[in-house]
Structure 1
């Protein structure tokens, strides 16, 4: 498994080369950029250039990017609507896809392999309409991403739309042979269970989000600080046909220091035998 860290852990800070150095010191082979304007401003040429220069000068790969969840600088706290590509309102869907396309354009300056996409929000249910909107969104975003060398990965989040059986239906009905899954272990633990979720989605898994919780809410803790059986989970992930990357996605609210992130990330990679 490729050792990767998400910049989500530093979401309250502007991403800069000093923070990227933290990931390098931890032994990461790749980084997942979290596209949030107050953190990594994917609309700023200067910010993209600054981050891109660091990647060009270092062996660490810009592995993936997490698509924007909100279009503003406050993660929706100021009232901005969430980026939701399956929203019932067509105008909201169009706005959401346009925002994601802005983030995808980063690949022209910072090449990355995968874009991690959310289909809907936490309360979105499964219906013929949500299936149709998901198919349309993925087809549209795929057509934009492929010329940039980026493949789409859909994440299992806490809603009906991305339950394993529904993700399989979306990908099969759409004949999306080049779209895979980012298996979020923490979300799986809160849903059908990690082993069951991996078993159902195994052929499609290309990346994974690794974080822990205690089974009640999505805490994004360091692995080992919750109740996930990590030895079993990592073993199942490693047995997938295409061994996925292991992306540590730790919550910014834990307010880790650069020093603690480097130490804890290195310990987590060692714990997983990576």
Structure 2
């Protein structure tokens, strides 16, 4: 069921959950976007990573990686916090060689209330962080996707992606974050970031919180966005981000109903 969708998208799975549910993932032929949040990068062993990666490869299933972002400051002005951030992100990028992902997704992590008064210093520090990580990804021909979170418009992403100036530095549009945090619409982000668009994260909410509902259960304009992507002949990577099994199946049903992926 929904193979015409699952063969062309990824579904978020924290690494530990992916381990626990690996048999089901393989049976349904889900392609995971593997979240490396929490203490995973400190507690999981290389053998554990390789076991999962090899199982996915044997099944002919792709994956993406989602780097950690909680408590991290890639543009941090405190040298100790910055060093810890770069170390943890670096551990995530070291897994590229094991998983051979289609992309690594990271949060740009710009917040106007925190960084606006020292924007130039934040930008220079953040740029150095992403350049170092981009070099790791590009060495494996893997794109780094910079995702929107608390940013309220495309300015910081445009500035960063233009400065990185690499075909492996791309933009990930998280539509749920647009609605919940930016409090605006996808048109405020595209077409300005269309030249860099490489990935989209699909989930829904009512604009009040990052609820990660199935598409169609909130207020996001999916029909408008999907129409734009088709009209522009854009084919970014797609990840579904449900936070429950019910929302997972409802998300797949919604994409089927919306005909985002044409049935084959």
Q: TM-score range by the shorter chain?
A: 0.7 to 0.9
- Normalised to the residue count of structure 2, the TM-score between the two structures is 0.83
User: Partners in 1 of 2:230 and 2:26 — Cα distance?
Assistant: 22
| Structure 2 gaps, min length 5 | none
Larger helix share, 1 or 2: 2
Shift in alpha-carbon separation, 1:225–1:183, aligned structure 2, 3 A = same
Cα deviation for residue 60 of structure 1 reads: 1.9
Q: Is this contact kept in 1: 2:110–2:156, CA < 8 A?
A: no
User: Partners in 2 of 1:250 and 1:41 — Cα distance?
Assistant: 25
Residue 188 (1) aligns with residue 178 (2): yes
Match of 2:98 in 1: 109
Superposed, 1:56-205 pairs within 5 Å as: 56-62=57-63, 64-70=64-70, 82-120=71-109, 122=111, 123-126=113-116, 127-159=119-151, 163-190=153-180, 191=182, 192-205=184-197
Match of 1:269 in 2: 255
* Secondary structure of the corresponding residue to residue 16 of structure 1: helix
* Secondary structure of the corresponding residue to residue 95 of structure 2: helix
Q: Is this contact kept in 1: 2:74–2:125, CA < 8 A?
A: yes
Q: Is this contact kept in 1: 2:75–2:82, CA < 8 A?
A: yes
Shift in alpha-carbon separation, 1:175–1:3, aligned structure 2, 3 A = closer
* Secondary structure of the corresponding residue to residue 129 of structure 2: helix
User: Partners in 2 of 1:20 and 1:129 — Cα distance?
Assistant: 47
Report the count of equivalent residues. Answer: 249
Cα deviation for residue 95 of structure 1 reads: 1.5
Q: Deviations over 1:172-228 (max 9, x none)?
A: 234344301011011122323112312221111101000101011211111111111
CA RMSD of aligned residues (A): 2.6
Cα deviation for residue 262 of structure 1 reads: 5.6
